[in-house]
Structure 1
């Protein structure tokens, strides 16, 4: 057969065993797999093929999906989790095509000319583009740009899936049946308890988001400063503090944590912010925390982690372009070593991986339930993007590709060391 006449189904057949539990239906009328397969994928245009040929990874597939060129009748609006799970199951049916097959596929794809379709308009710039624009990773300018890219969206859109707590980090569940709101409230209180804070104490919250920690702390009589680089979050948080009548105890600033002039805090928490810091900046970051804490003060550091130290630190192409530009993850062992090397004593390290999977289940189900409103707020491609990201993250937490850890760390007192905290855990998990 002439390579130019090779069908999409034949291309798929080069990568999958004939009994793979999927049917692929293509724009050229060809089909791979049986009608009664549990999963059906529709390749709706040649643009999908060019996206995948240019980037045969998560970026190419994501572009095709976000543009509507790759779809499935099994996809739930805003919640593609079940389809992701079935796609993961196809790994055991993969086959490695030979050089001749790969050459035929390339000839078929490019037989009508080399096309490089424009990426979706919601895609962020590549690392090389950011560098040309003078936005270097993990500098003050770079951090401000990347945080703004992710968080300065519609606050009302985030509320659709986060719920009234506006807490964009892992909740902590007593049971799988615990409500999202109860689990988020439990997480906030657990963090405050782990820092052993009392009424009148001073707390610094780095990467404070929309202010849920500030509200929880101030209601306990704790004086709290929250800092973020996202304008939308500052506006929301300041209004929330005012509505609660907590202005005398809580404030939120548009500020880089390195620019906070105060020190001597009784506690510092960093909940879901370290993913933006960059692995090479960890020593400087923890040194800054040490400088801002009083002797005997506690740092609670909560961050997504790699399962091991062998994988690269950078996120994949999809995450870099669409979600967290310049995001990096390290293993819990690497993080704990850096914490200790900067003079802290680590009291506990806790893995909350399963809790984050349940949290993401709630978020994707919320987005699914509010799908039409989400599309009207941000457009279908961006609404699809958040469902794609959260469903994929849920699956990765479930299969232990990534984890999330809390590190409870105390700054030694030069006179008493770290013998000032109780002998046994004093908080309720």
Structure 2
């Protein structure tokens, strides 16, 4: 398709799109030609086509095709990437066949542990040093911080988040906590340095090695298990359970709550957080194919709370964390961009581009309300173990 025809397609789409919602004007630079503006006003960003395949992706007005073209370097975005991502629905995203794989029974893909390990590993099995280029430098927390002001340093927000989770559990020296999805040991280290014994479950082998090395190096009371929650057989009743961002990888809420009930002592508490959406299929095709493939899915709060109502747990509190997650992802995105040259030199351009779309796309998703986030606390009432098990 000729360059002029591509611009015509984009202008017609812009006219329709901007009649229904606010739209930022932008520019398109095709085949080294001068930039052509789409919409009225100063362009907020410029889409620069580098390869004919990028031109075809734009002409098809397909969101996933444009994302792939960006990942492959067939097109680029100069200027405000966040402004571009706020207009992601300028392009359609209808790819039902791309989602079929997540509904294939895990048995056909090698069983639950193998399937979840493979899909979680797709995101988390990068070199831990890569994640450390954009996470907070104090705790390595791969979850939203809690900010008092929008301009607060990320490290302060991360510390406040971990202190909030720790306090919510009500644990102290000598107690035992189960950490589900330990990441790079942010909560485990925080609690262990306060005398709490932590058992961490993870399905990331690099994450498991990182945490085991940390525990050995600093002599911390941390046990690290490469094990799925559903396969874990606790050797004690834990005083508390923490889950920072792993609920998205445990979409079987009823089974998850049953496993928590098996592991938690009467009177114990669980602290959790997760990103959420209103419907199961709102996640983009890009997210499902390149970031979180498999059965992982954003929290569906209404379904989760129905499962809680059918469990023995009490809901102690729930907080809206959407703005906190927006601020956190924006911090991560800026840090990733600041480290671009080092990331590309060590791990390659494709990894940088994949996480750049993910982090800035998440930041704008939280900012616009496309994506929500919550943190909440559950409590196991004081009752006998038999009564608790029969109630789940």
Aligned to 2:125: 152
Q: Which residue of 2 aligns with 1:169?
A: 143
The answer (yes or no) to whether the contact 1:203–1:268 under 8 Å persists in 2 is: yes
Say yes or no: does 1:180 pair with 2:180: no
* Matched residue SS, 1:289: helix
Specify the alignment match of 2:232 in structure 1.
260
Which residue in 2 is equivalent to 1:104?
none
Distance 1:38 1:151, change over 3 A: closer
Alignment of 1:340 onto 2:309:
yes
1:383-394 → structure 2 map (5 Å cutoff) = 383-394=352-363
The yes-or-no answer on 1:43 pairing with 2:49 is yes
Instruction: Label 1:9 to 1:218 Cα distance change in 2 as closer, same or farther (>3 A).
Output: same
Q: Answer yes or no: is the 8 Å Cα contact 1:160–1:370 preserved in 2.
A: yes
How far did residue 4 of structure 1 move?
8.2
Shift in Å, 1:414: 2.0
Long gaps (5+) in structure 1: 97-124, 416-429
Residue 166 of structure 2: which of 192, 199, 205 is its match? Answer: 192
**Residue matched to 2:64:** 59
Deviates more, 1:221-230 or 1:405-414: 405-414
For 1:199 and 1:135, the matched residues in 2 are separated by 45
Q: Distance in 2 between matches of 1:189 and 1:59?
A: 39
1:324 corresponding residue in structure 2: 292
Superimposed CA distance per residue, residues 205-239 of structure 1 (whole angstroms, 9 cap, x where no aligned partner): 00011111111111111111001011000111111
Total equivalences in the alignment: 369
Q: Confirm whether residue 355 of structure 1 aligns to residue 361 of structure 2.
A: no
- Check 1:330–1:250 CA distance in 2 against 1; reply closer, same or farther (3 A cut): closer
Q: Which runs of 5+ in 2 are unaligned?
A: 19-23, 93-97, 385-392
Question: Comparing both structures, which one devotes a greater share of its residues to helix?
Answer: 2
Aligned CA distance change for structure 1 residues 303 and 199 (closer, same or farther; 3 Å) = same
Pairwise CA RMSD: 3.0
What's the CA shift for 1:66?
1.3
Cα 1:133–1:411, aligned 2, differ >3 Å: closer, same or farther? closer
CA deviation profile, 1:164-205 (whole Å, cap 9, x unmatched) = 322111111122232211211111111011011121111000
Look at both structures and tell me which one has the larger radius of gyration over its CA atoms: 1
TM-score by length of 2: 0.85
Cα deviation, residue 386, structure 1: 0.6
Deviation at 1:150, TM superposition (A): 0.8
Check 1:267–1:401 CA distance in 2 against 1; reply closer, same or farther (3 A cut).
same
**SS of residue matched to 2:8:** helix
Distance 2:232 2:77 in 1: 49
TM-score by length of 1: 0.78
